[in-house]
Amino acid sequence: MKSFILLVFGLVLSSNLSFSQKKAPKLLVGIIVDQMSYDYLYRYYSNFGKNGFKRLMDQGYNFRNVTYNYVPTYTGPGHASVYTGTTPSNHGIVANDWYQREYGRFVNCVEDTTVSAIGTASSSGRCSPHFLRANTITDQLKLTYPNAKVVGVSIKDRGAILPSGHMPDGAYWYDYSTGNFITSTYYSNVYPGWYGSFITANPISKYLGQTWELSKDSTLYTVRNDNSKYELPLGGKELPVFPYNFSDKSQAEQVGLFTATPFANTYLTDFAITAMKGENMGDDLTTDFLTISYSTPDIVGHEYGPYSLEIEDVYYRLDEELNKLFLALDKEVGKGNYVVMLSADHAVVPVPQYLTDHKLPGGYLFKDARLEELKALCMEEFQVDPILTVGNNNVYLKEEFLNHESTEAIIAFIQKEIEKWPEVKAVYSRDQLKSIPANNWQEMTAQGYDRERSGEIIYILQPGYLSKSEDTEESRKGTSHGSSFNYDTQVPALIYGLGKGDVYTPYEIIDLAATLVHVMNIQRPNAMTGKPMVEALVKSK
């Protein structure tokens, strides 16, 4: 009788386990493309293959009206927001780097001096999700199903670390001193066996030294000018033109320049597929989660801008990497057994000098000169310089002026002076960001504000403007991101494996994670504020 009861109990338990996983995929793959504008999907569509971006767009859900709902739109905050389903005001990653008062310096969003690097002597391995204050959907998956596998890979450390959360089975990023993928003791003291096999079969030398030429006939490209004055040439080239080959450089130089070529995307894809196989991801009924962040588009985009031949070719080649990834998923996990989400951590502003030359709004705020003027005005008004530093458009006051009898007067004065700058759209004090937002710009700034990590005053620039240290010929080439405007905030949002259709409902970037929790049948993580993208969930049932 006892054996019979145990047998029945076991059957019931198995039944409940199967039910809990009902319709949940064996593997969920989250892909973030670092610096991808929404319009790239359509600008380059005719030259994409059938099994990369087109597979996501035509056979999946294409959410065409998804935007970021905070500033600054940088890489660290973007990755954290996509995977926590909330904004920097809750998850704490307010920038890639911010001034940390307790350390008396700027810190990187994933640096961790309490851990050691594995696989390198470089300090670039001393990283972890130490500063991430909220749980990710990958954390929630591990909390719910401890046997679930979670692995994060990227060229950038933050692109691997923040998506995979606090308790993954591994997070790996590129080391600029060795050219290998590395990790830290936060995750493990040793590499898994599959890692050594990868390094043996795929040494970095296999990828270095290749010539980057156009991957298609030049007549097929939307961009025809390969020698734009708005671009910064790579690797000491005199002109920013194809082809690119750095085999004449030293090994160390090649390893550094490598990530600014599309071959770094190939390296990352090969590593991601090896990690998936090595960790046996998608092999059982428990959902596993592989996060991949392609960093090279951002590295190239900063140098050449969104209307360059280089960035166009990067996306054609990235399309081929997605094709390779899909073929591996079909073979290893099986069609219908996995879901792929693809989005971006931010988009990008057109090169401001290009805008002004073409009679469009835009320009530059040259920060160093403005800051010196501001400090002089403060000295004249208060007989002291209360400004500690400025970073990410945040003004930090010196410690002695944080709770001084003149603090509010100082903040009000600095705010009034910055408001006079023609390059600035709006300026907010720390108290204003605690109150009910008065408009969309203030709300977005408040959503990106953290009282411990942000400054006492935050300003946002006018549309089309970038902040640069000083006015030089080089500073007027290339571009960046970080604003509250649509060129930075509207990004692709694609989900493959649940059904298909174009969706025009307005959604925010934090809604992606709020959707994926229902795909995995798990609870919303602790600080999630996003809402489900119901079209995909209702139609997929």
- For Cα atoms 176, 180, 184, give the angle at the middle one, nearest 5 degrees: 85
| CB contact at 8 A, 429 and 395 | no
Q: Is residue 217 packed enough to be buried (19+ CB in 10 Å), middle (13-18) or exposed (0-12)?
A: exposed
- Among residues 75, 138, 445, 479, which one is catalytic? 75
First-residue to last-residue Cα distance in the chain: 41
| CB contact at 8 A, 97 and 389 | no
Residue 284: phi and psi, rounded to 5, are -135, -170
Distance CA 128, CA 168 (A): 11
**What is the full DSSP assignment across 470-497?**
S--TGGGSS-----SSHHHHB--EEEES
**Sign (positive or negative) of CA dihedral 7, 13, 14, 15:** positive
Crossing angle of helices 407-419 and 367-382, rounded to 10° = 140
**Sign (positive or negative) of CA dihedral 499, 502, 504, 510:** positive
Residue 436: phi and psi, rounded to 5, are -65, 125
Q: Is 138 a catalytic residue?
A: no
Instruction: Residue 178: name the closest of 113, 245, 125, 235 by CA.
Output: 125
Residue 181: phi and psi, rounded to 5, are -80, 135
- Read off the tokens for 115: 């851990």
| CB contact at 8 A, 84 and 166 | no
Q: How far, CA to CA in Å, does 288 sit from each of 146, 273, 304, 328, 540?
A: 10, 14, 37, 16, 20
| CB contact at 8 A, 523 and 517 | yes
Pairing between β-strand 27-33 and β-strand 338-344 as defined by DSSP bridges: parallel
- For Cα atoms 504, 509, 512, give the angle at the middle one, nearest 5 degrees: 85
Residues involved in catalysis: 75
